[in-house]
Amino acid sequence: MTIFAATGSLVFLGSMVGWFKTYDDVALYGWGWWWASVALVIVAHDAYFYWAHRWLHHPRWFASVHGRHHHSLHPTPWAAYAFHPLEAVVQFK
């Protein structure tokens, strides 16, 4: 949770100082672009998550990094955070 909070904070602060472009005024680009950007973000995020997770299942990374996540036998809210620190950085959304 600490890594997710830290990376989220870095993204937020990065947008405040201009490292990342954000906009709050939909009229600036229009509703068409707003809906298109939502769809693009969903597709891009899904593709990234799929390929990152697939990479973590490679035998080299599974044993040392991702296997910890699969030791959670019962799905609980805390099991969702059962990550190796490297995996938490890779899986940050």
> What confidence score (pLDDT) does residue 93 get?
58
> What confidence score (pLDDT) does residue 91 get?
74
The separation between the first and the last C-alpha atoms of the chain, rounded to the nearest angstrom, is 13
Cα–Cα distance for residue pair 89/91, rounded to 1 Å:
6
Residues of the chain with pLDDT under 50: none
Q: Tokens 């699969």 correspond to what residue?
A: 70
Cα–Cα distance for residue pair 5/30, rounded to 1 Å:
31
30: number of Cβ within 10 Å: 10
Statement: the pTM of the whole predicted model exceeds 0.85: no
> What confidence score (pLDDT) does residue 32 get?
95
Q: Tokens 């602060």 correspond to what residue?
A: 13
